[in-house]
Structure 1
């Protein structure tokens, strides 16, 4: 996919008329309630860099104690630069933080800041990428969270969110373009935190849309169709002919009509619908019951007919 194709895909994926509402919904959700991590309470680039390096393939809950212990021992880049590298590697190993070369790279990056940048951290993703062991993702994260001037962060969680919510193609260029389209100008710190929070607590591999109060349910392709596959989630059973497919058809049809009676709806969603047959009223009422429990559909039973409408 070319950059132009990716840009067009992003424009198609995110409903332009709803972009402001989509942004506001996520930021309001994040600011109302989110997980408390100590590195979210600082804009010190050294402290944020340490958290980013420690968080690579390590559960965040385990990182908190290690991060605090590390900063107690080496509170500044200058302190870390002056430390014996063997001590840093030993700390890394003792705290089970993964590959020891990350400790060596972090130590070298601190030396670069102290000696090559006169103790002042570079502030842009491009400059931060010059530090040892700091790749594009980490550089952008530090620029975003320390200086609020990063680009859209795209990690595995964010890809999962974009794939599900806006049906973005499983293509890195498409993910990058859509993430950039969504990012509000000048708000990379709060926006990137919010996107990662959404992927971390609501749009996990096993989604918790309703439990976590996902703010994008109104626009989410996966929520409307029931298809929660994603690049890092095993493929679900065939979509063709599945309950997920018919759930999606019901939601789309009811979105086009104020209200539909049971049999009219049944005939519209499948050609072999027969009221008293295998795929008839009982089958359809079961689907509507699921959608009602999910808060998507309202079912009304009158004296002689059953009808459905979107909530």
Structure 2
């Protein structure tokens, strides 16, 4: 945590270096000389970039690579994805442990929008991209930047950490947004956003590696000069083990392997302590199934004698 007086000082007075061109050139040169290689950095295909952005949400990039390659090989275009069974897309998502399954559903629906509403051609601006299902401001701006070089500055946790440490930007979303857009050179969102996120991921992580990574901003960096490497608090991901998210994933995975399952069979398969009338019994399971059904991921058929669940086609 930062102390209140220091943070108040930041709020009232922050400035970027006078020689912004030197700051920009240093970062871009550092990135272009050497950076981590990810396949989506080697393409300007909006579909492939959208897939990478959706997969990368709360998933480590090294784990995303294999899933991204398999996904884009199986469904190489929006037309291929749009015509796929939703259950197959959700099943892929679950089998690769990519987290919240509704992201797979939204990605599928976004592909259908591109085909139906845009004649298979992606919109290019952040505002237009936000019209796609499940695409929020951050993802829209990232796709616009990396596919079309037409975005604003991307502001993620890495960028906030860099701006806070290097230039004393206060822990305030409006200030981060303003500083990031002032820093970015006009018309260069593709290389700039890649570069500044790389800086936060490689050199300016929670444990900074300034000299080891050859940080290009050391001569301007407030933290490097003072030794104060505090940074804004980063929200922690809730524990996955034992969470609703874990059991939702198990349900989707099982229903992807079996055409349909009755309530108690499903319950016993997803947790060892399932008892029909217990704390983690039919009512608990019906609540999870209701959530998944409301998101369009599965269908629940209530009969007189049994309840059947199946993935929505």
Tell me by how many angstroms 1:15 deviates: 1.5
Q: State how far apart, in whole Å, the 2-side matches of 1:97 and 1:75 are.
A: 19
Tell me by how many angstroms 1:232 deviates: 3.0
**2:93 is the alignment partner of 1:92:** yes
Sort the Cα spacing of 1:124 and 1:233 in 2 relative to 1 into closer, same or farther, 3 A.
closer
- TM-score, normalised on structure 1? 0.71
Q: State how far apart, in whole Å, the 1-side matches of 2:176 and 2:190 are.
A: 19
Give the number of aligned pairs: 226
Q: State how far apart, in whole Å, the 2-side matches of 1:72 and 1:28 are.
A: 33
Q: State how far apart, in whole Å, the 2-side matches of 1:25 and 1:43 are.
A: 24
Sort the Cα spacing of 1:184 and 1:64 in 2 relative to 1 into closer, same or farther, 3 A.
same
Higher relative contact order (CA 8 A, sep 6+): 2
CA contact (8 A) 1:51 1:67 kept: yes
Instruction: Provide the residue aligned with 1:177 in structure 2.
Output: 178
Tell me by how many angstroms 1:90 deviates: 0.2
1:14 aligned to which of 8, 13, 16: 16
Instruction: Provide the residue aligned with 1:105 in structure 2.
Output: 106
Structure 1 unmatched ranges of 5 or more: 1-7, 235-311
Instruction: Provide the residue aligned with 1:56 in structure 2.
Output: 57
Instruction: Provide the residue aligned with 1:204 in structure 2.
Output: 205
Q: State how far apart, in whole Å, the 1-side matches of 2:119 and 2:225 are.
A: 53
Aligned-pair Cα RMSD in Å: 1.6
CA contact (8 A) 2:82 2:108 kept: yes
Superposition pairs of residues 225-236 of structure 1, within 5 angstroms = 225-232=226-233
CA contact (8 A) 2:157 2:234 kept: no
Tell me by how many angstroms 1:13 deviates: 2.1
Instruction: Provide the residue aligned with 1:66 in structure 2.
Output: 67
CA contact (8 A) 1:202 1:214 kept: yes
CA contact (8 A) 2:167 2:221 kept: yes
Instruction: Provide the residue aligned with 2:189 in structure 1.
Output: 188
Instruction: Provide the residue aligned with 1:245 in structure 2.
Output: none
Q: State how far apart, in whole Å, the 2-side matches of 1:73 and 1:121 are.
A: 20
Q: State how far apart, in whole Å, the 2-side matches of 1:133 and 1:10 are.
A: 36
Q: Deviations over 1:84-126 (max 9, x none)?
A: 0000000000000000000000000000000011111000000
CA contact (8 A) 1:55 1:63 kept: yes
- TM-score, normalised on structure 2? 0.71
